[in-house]
Amino acid sequence: MSLAIVPGSFDPMTLGHLALVKKAAKKYDRVIVAVMVNPAKRYTFDEKTRMEIAKKTVAELPNVQVISDRGLLIDLFDRTGATVVCKGWRNRSDYAYELKMAEWNKTHNPRFRTELYKSEGKYANLSSTEVRTLLAEGKVPEDLVHPDALPILLESLKF
Ligand code: PNS
């Protein structure tokens, strides 16, 4: 049974993230979306809200499960018996950053395997930052997040 982890801050999860999760869910038997919590990092959406948004976003995919984790990805990888970690990239700086992370993880856990997917099509340049920017300007990011996740997102900001 193959298992892919798709980790991220998901602050919040976008339709770009969903496109990546769909690719992983097609290729691997099971997918774990890991909403990572870094206590040193400030998020716009709290852990519970990021989880709820992620769950609504991937609800249509039967082999995908959403969890949250506060530790290192290399430990989550072993604990879940994962086959691979799937991450997306949009541009050269994303790619360079992801390569560096993949190398770091491999150095600290030789079993660790990363697959990098280029974002394509309609959501190729979409980011959580863009969603947060629109929200800060009082605009509803309708086409950028899953319609079922939108009410949770707006409610949490008391939009
Ligand atoms: O959505 P992002 O910002 O690309 O997600 C980054 C994330 C959460 C995947 C990355 O920060 C991460 O792997 N966090 C878990 C902690 C960890 O394993 N750190 C190792 C590198 S120092």
Q: The domain spanning residue 33 has which CATH number?
A: 3.40.50.620
Q: Read off the pLDDT of each residue in 49-61 and give the average, rounded to a whole number.
A: 98
What is the percentage of the chain residues whose pLDDT exceeds 90?
96
- Give phi and psi for 147, each to the nearest 5: -55, -30
Pocket of ligand 1 (CB under 6 A): 7-9, 36, 72-73, 101, 104
CA of 41 to the centre of ligand 1 (A): 11
What are 17-45's pLDDT values in tens digits?
Answer: 999 999 999 999 999 999 999 999 999 99
Q: Do the bridges between strand 64-69 and strand 114-118 make them parallel or antiparallel, or are there none, so unpaired?
A: unpaired
Measure the CA–CA gap between 24 and 21, rounded to whole angstroms: 5
What are 129-144's pLDDT values in tens digits?
Answer: 999 999 999 999 999 9
Q: How confident is the model at residue 156 (pLDDT cuts 50, 70, 90)?
A: very high
The terminus-to-terminus CA distance of the chain in angstroms comes to: 43
Beta strands in the chain (DSSP E): 3-8, 30-36, 64-69, 84-89, 114-118
pLDDT of residue 68: 98
pLDDT of residue 159: 78
Residue 158, pLDDT above cutoff 90: no
Ligand 1 mutation target, pool 9, 43, 68, 95, most atoms within 8 A of CB: 9
Residue 46, pLDDT above cutoff 90: yes
Residue 4, pLDDT above cutoff 90: yes
Q: Domain count of the chain? A: 1
- By alpha-carbon position, which residue is closest to atom 17 of ligand 1? 72
pLDDT of residue 26: 98
Rounded to two decimals, the pTM is: 0.97
Which atom in ligand 1 lies closest to the alpha carbon of residue 36? Answer: 8
The per-residue pLDDT of the chain, averaged, comes to 97
The amino acid that residue 68 corresponds to is S
Domain of residue 94 covers 3-156
pLDDT of residue 18: 97
Measure the CA–CA gap between 21 and 60, rounded to whole angstroms: 11
